[in-house]
Amino acid sequence: MVNGYAVHTLQEALEVRNGKKVTPYAGGTDLMIQAKEDAVYLFLNKIEELKRITEDDECIRLGAACTFTQILEDKSVPEILRTAVSQIGAPAIRNMGTIGGNICNASPKADSALIFFVADAKLRLISKSGERILPIADFYLGRGKTTLQEDELLAEVLMPKKGVGNFYYQKVGARNALAISRVSFVGILSVEKDTIIHCATAFGAIESTIVRKPEIDQMLIGKTIAEAREDKEAYLRTYEAAIQPIQGRVSTEYRKQVCMNLLQDFLVQNGIS
Amino acid sequence: MIRFILNGKEVVSKASENTRLLDVLRQEFEITGVKCGCKEGECGACSVILDGELVNSCMVAVGSIQGSTVMTIEGYRGTERFAVLDKSYAQVSAVQCGFCTPGMVLASECILEKNPDPSEEEIRAGISGNLCRCTGYNAIVEAIGIAAKEGKGLW
């Protein structure tokens, strides 16, 4: 029995994906933890087309098989992403783990996916018959569940470059290295002429998918910092009511308290105190 | 059949593609310097250098390394760099039970390969995926620092 297909081009990968029931394998760092004896992998780690980092006017385009180390060492990658990635696992995991695997594993604790959520990144999915591009939020159906079709592969992440410069990121884990997030939070805020022109926030590890509430962040957009201070309590209360952390290794109450502390600190750090 | 370079020699593994590299190394090739600690990438005891980078061999399916180069402590021990690390580890008693040591030495190599003059913080970050339950790490950090000085020019 064949338990793996090693391919070198995207075309070959799509052919295999089209005809066989395979599990896409990029870095293996999630898959091999729960390795099954009958697993059949489609190895994507040697496909150069999936390891490229390029830019266009609006986006940085990251190949799905880019490793975390590659992301960290490429100065064209926005700092917000490099900051989050630098806290994933340890060097040996970052050398193998990929952003595509982090996204497709569909854990709400995925530290790189959190950044893609807050940046409103898009995913480019391809199959033998074509491609589709969709917002990352639309990719998820629940914990471990995505809309990836059996003949599709994630090819690229399209991450907007604008608006991510002023960021606040916190990963709350039980230790410094090799930590799995208990709560993670990222917020970005852009101010022009004292007016908030963009605000986006996202929480990881609290619900079955990463949480992003653009309708709540909208409460602050268009406001001056002084006006945002006035609206701060309403914003925090609305957010508090909108998130429902799940019970895990840590309690719901703990998670919620940490979420609110982080959100509050994000505002304070931006002068909304 | 998966062909790769193991410690400088071409080998062919008959293992199934989804087998952990760790198991292939220990069982098929009897390379026992690679230790099995956790099988989930947490301990670093199974560290090897794959195509120049430190990896946990428990998290690598052997089918993914067709044509790659793998170095374990058995291959590394013949190098000049190893001799420097060997001496510095011994000098400050950075080894106690020895279970983490092969992985720790390979992690040391990867730190110095990327950065021949690392700060203490960079050394600690570099070995952050390699657990040691005996030494408390300080001696290991010191040993890597000594190797950086004593081995100047080698890295």
| pLDDT tens digits along B72-98 | 999 999 999 999 999 999 999 999 999
Tell me: pLDDT of A1 over 80.
no
* A112-141 mean pLDDT: 98
- Compute the distance between CA of residue B47 and CA of residue A246 in angstroms, rounded to an integer: 35
**Burial level of B56, CB count in 10 A (0-12/13-18/19+)?**
buried
CB-CB neighbors (< 8 A) of A179 in chain B: none
B114 touches chain A (CB under 8 A): no
B123: closest chain A residue by CA = A91
CB-based contact B56:A92 (threshold 8 Å)? yes
- Report how many Cβ contacts below 8 Å link chain A to chain B: 101
**Burial level of B85, CB count in 10 A (0-12/13-18/19+)?**
buried
Res A176: pLDDT: 81
Res A179: pLDDT: 85
Res A247: pLDDT: 86
B60: closest chain A residue by CA = A28
Please give the mean pLDDT across all residues of chain A.
96
pLDDT for A25-73, tens place per residue? 999 999 999 888 999 999 999 999 999 999 999 999 999 999 999 999 9
Task: For the full predicted model, state whether its pTM sits above 0.90.
Answer: yes
Note the ipTM here: 0.97
Residues of chain B with pLDDT under 70: none
Whether A6 sits inside 8 A of B61 (CB atoms) is no
B66 touches chain A (CB under 8 A): yes
Res B24: pLDDT: 98
Q: What's the token pair of residue A214?
A: 């653009």
